[in-house]
Amino acid sequence: MRAILTRYRRPLFLIASILLLALSCWAGYSFAYAADLIEWDCGGGSCATNDARSLGLPVALLGTVGAVLLSGFAVGLLGPAVAIAASAFWFRRGLEDAIAAGHTPASSVGTPMTFTIIAFVVAGLCVVGWVWMLIGRAQGRRLVAKHRAE
């Protein structure tokens, strides 16, 4: 049994990361779309709600972190780049749809939009690191082949 788990560890991690990513994208979109529709009871210095939609942001963040970790093990730096970019894209899409539907005023989404841009930059840096890693591996293989030929 252990040999089977060892053999299929990376594909299982990849499947788990895809499922977590789908969950985090859905939760991020849902929260961004409905954030201004949630009834909050604020008093005494804190705010609370009984609306389950308020759990969308923590689910999205934790799902993205899980997808980043699992996909990083399964496919290297390209997996986290895709996970971060997809989560940021769907969160941003939820904000844009909320603005278009009139649920959220366009002037109130500056900070969340800035965070999505930062997430896109981080995803881009992961892609650059992945390309850098591929170039390094190719150069290493050429050096090994050159030394073997000598």
Confidence (pLDDT) at 64: 94
Q: Where on the phi/psi map is residue 42: left (φ > 0), alpha (ψ -120 to 50), or beta?
A: beta
Mean of the pLDDT values across residues 104-133? 88
Domain ranges in the chain? 2-149
What is the pTM (predicted TM-score) of this model?
A: 0.81
Helix, strand, coil: what percent of the chain each, to 5?
A: 85, 5, 10
Asked if pLDDT for residue 30 goes beyond 90, the answer is yes
Render pLDDT for 74-93 as a digit per residue (tens, 0 to 9): 888 889 999 999 999 999 99
Confidence (pLDDT) at 1: 62
